[in-house]
Structure formats: structure tokens, C-alpha cells
């Protein structure tokens, strides 16, 4: 299991350090992640289930109750926010081809030193990392409850490592299934769009060994990460 503060606390700290002026998230659900932002925000979810106050000090908060694919097909978040996206949190459909499209669509509206956080991309075993939620064939090898499911979105990070090696990718041990931060972006890049089919197919038949290899090569931050994060925030991240 992952150690450390949960991902809501980590998101709160990232907001405090980066002080973004614009924020976008995919997968708002009950609002726990959205409430961490204090800047102009865009929230996208096909079915909102807000259970808390999420506006806070935001000067503007735009809600779009639709799929992320539908949102980006019809709308321009840069125009909505009045500037590129400084920080994004992606927690939509838990299947890697969906998260890959979300990353592609969001990156186009970022600056090179914006930060994109990907949720659920550090599942600690292959049962949690399974593709189909109803598949319990590996449950006996897991310490997690049989219904605990992160999906196979970890494959998106593996694709980024392979097809976009220039990106800066760092994993953060934030229970329950981690946060992966990506920066060094290129809004003009067409690599993923051009190679989308090949990239998706390259991960089609992966298994537990592939997941284990991915976790072994992912750079995961040490406990002092935020000290270093703050040190570079003004120079590299934002």
C-alpha cells in the first residue's frame, strides 16, 4: 500500500505551492478535488454528484456535465478561462485510452511549464490495476479488497514514457493509488495524435509483469519532495 498523505492533501499542497491562476479537472464526482482550487476553474464530469461547497474563493467556476471528449470537441478551455491552463487534474474514465485522450486535449491548452496531475496511475498490484472492474481473477494475490479498482490508466503513463520521453514525469506516493505529475509540456506536439492508434495498441495485451515493470521504472519522489518542488516552482514548474 502507498504511504503518506492522501491525494486530496497532496493536491491542496500543490495548489498552495504553484498558486495557479487557472485550473481544469476531469472527473469532479463529489467535489473533493475541486474544492482545493482557489482560482478560475473548469470542472468536467458526465454526472456531477457534488456533496460539499466547492466555490470557495474562486473568481469563476464553470461546470460542464458532459464527457471530456464531448467537451473538447465543442469548447475551448483557454477561451473559457481567459488564459492557458496552469494546473490540471485528470481523474475521468479509468481506462487508459480515455486518459490518453484527456492528456492530449489538455496539453494543447497548457504552457510548457504547466503541470498535469494524473490520478490512479500508481496501483500497487495487478489486481487493482486490472482493466475490467468485474474481473476478480487476481484478487487472491492482492491485499486490497476484491472490489478495489483503479483501472488500467497506468498504461497512459507508460505510453508517455515511450512516446514522449522529453516530458518530466514524477510519481507521488499519495494513497490510495498515487498521483503522477507531468510537466515540460509541448502544446504544439502532434506526436500522440499521430501515433494514437499505435500507442493504444502497444498496451493492448499487457499483463501483471508489464505493470510490475512499469512501477519499477517510474520515478517516485522521496519524502522531501515538496521542499524540492517549492524550490523549483518559480523556475521550472510555473
Between CA 190 and CA 211 the distance in angstroms is 27
The DSSP secondary-structure symbol of 99 reads H
Residue 230, C-alpha cell as written in the block: 517549492
Beta bridge partners of 44: 26, 64
Q: Give the pLDDT score at 236.
A: 47
Residues 6+ apart with CB under 8 A from 6: 174, 175, 176
Check: CB of residue 84 under 8 Å from CB of residue 42. no
The predicted pLDDT at position 84 comes to 98
pTM for this prediction: 0.91
Q: Alpha carbon of 216 to those of 27, 145, 158, 179, 222: distances in Å?
A: 28, 23, 11, 16, 15
Please provide residue 110's backbone torsions phi and psi, each rounded to the nearest 5 degrees.
-105, 175
Span 109-162, pLDDT tens digits? 999 999 999 998 888 777 776 776 666 666 566 666 656 656 799 999 999 999
The CATH number given to 7-233 is 3.40.50.150
Listed as own residue / partner, the contacts of 180-183 with beta carbons closer than 8 Å and 24 or more positions apart are: 180/117, 180/118, 180/121, 180/122, 180/218, 181/14, 181/115, 181/116, 181/117, 181/118, 182/103, 182/115, 182/116, 182/117, 182/118, 183/112, 183/113, 183/114, 183/115, 183/116, 183/236, 183/237
Using alpha carbons, select from 53, 57, 15 the residue that is nearest to residue 36.
15
Listed as ranges, residues in the chain with pLDDT below 70 are 1, 129, 132-150, 222-238
Q: What is the pLDDT of residue 46?
A: 97
What are the extents of the domains in the chain? 7-233
| Residue 232 pLDDT | 47
Separation between Cα atoms, residue 41 and residue 85, nearest integer Å? 9
Amino acid at each position: 500500500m502507498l504511504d503518506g498523505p492522501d491525494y486530496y492533501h497532496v493536491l491542496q499542497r500543490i495548489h498552495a505551492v504553484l498558486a495557479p491562476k487557472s485550473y481544469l479537472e476531469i472527473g469532479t464526482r463529489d467535489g473533493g478535488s475541486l474544492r482545493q482550487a482557489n482560482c478560475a476553474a473548469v470542472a468536467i464530469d458526465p454526472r456531477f454528484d457534488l456533496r460539499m461547497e466547492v466555490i470557495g474563493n474562486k473568481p469563476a467556476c464553470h461546470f460542464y456535465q458532459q464527457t471530456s471528449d464531448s467537451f473538447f470537441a465543442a469548447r475551448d478551455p483557454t477561451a473559457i478561462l481567459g488564459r492557458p491552463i496552469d494546473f490540471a487534474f485528470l481523474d475521468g474514465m479509468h481506462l487508459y485510452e480515455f486518459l490518453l485522450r484527456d492528456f492530449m486535449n489538455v496539453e494543447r491548452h497548457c504552457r510548457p511549464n504547466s503541470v498535469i496531475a494524473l490520478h490512479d496511475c500508481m496501483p500497487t498490484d495487478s489486481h487493482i490495476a486490472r482493466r475490467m472492474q468485474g474481473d476478480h481473477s487476481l484478487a487472491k494475490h492482492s491485499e486490497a479488497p476484491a472490489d478495489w479498482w483503479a483501472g488500467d490508466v497506468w498504461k497512459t503513463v507508460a505510453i508517455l514514457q515511450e512516446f514522449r520521453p522529453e516530458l518530466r514525469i514524477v510519481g507521488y506516493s499519495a494513497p490510495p493509488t498515487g498521483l503522477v505529475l507531468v510537466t515540460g509540456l509541448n502544446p504544439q506536439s502532434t506526436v500522440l495524435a499521430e501515433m494514437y492508434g499505435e500507442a493504444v495498441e502497444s498496451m493492448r495485451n499487457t499483463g501483471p509483469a508489464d505493470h510490475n515493470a512499469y512501477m519499477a521504472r517510474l520515478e517516485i519522489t522521496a519524502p522531501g519532495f515538496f521542499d524540492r518542488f517549492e524550490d523549483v516552482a518559480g523556475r521550472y514548474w510555473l
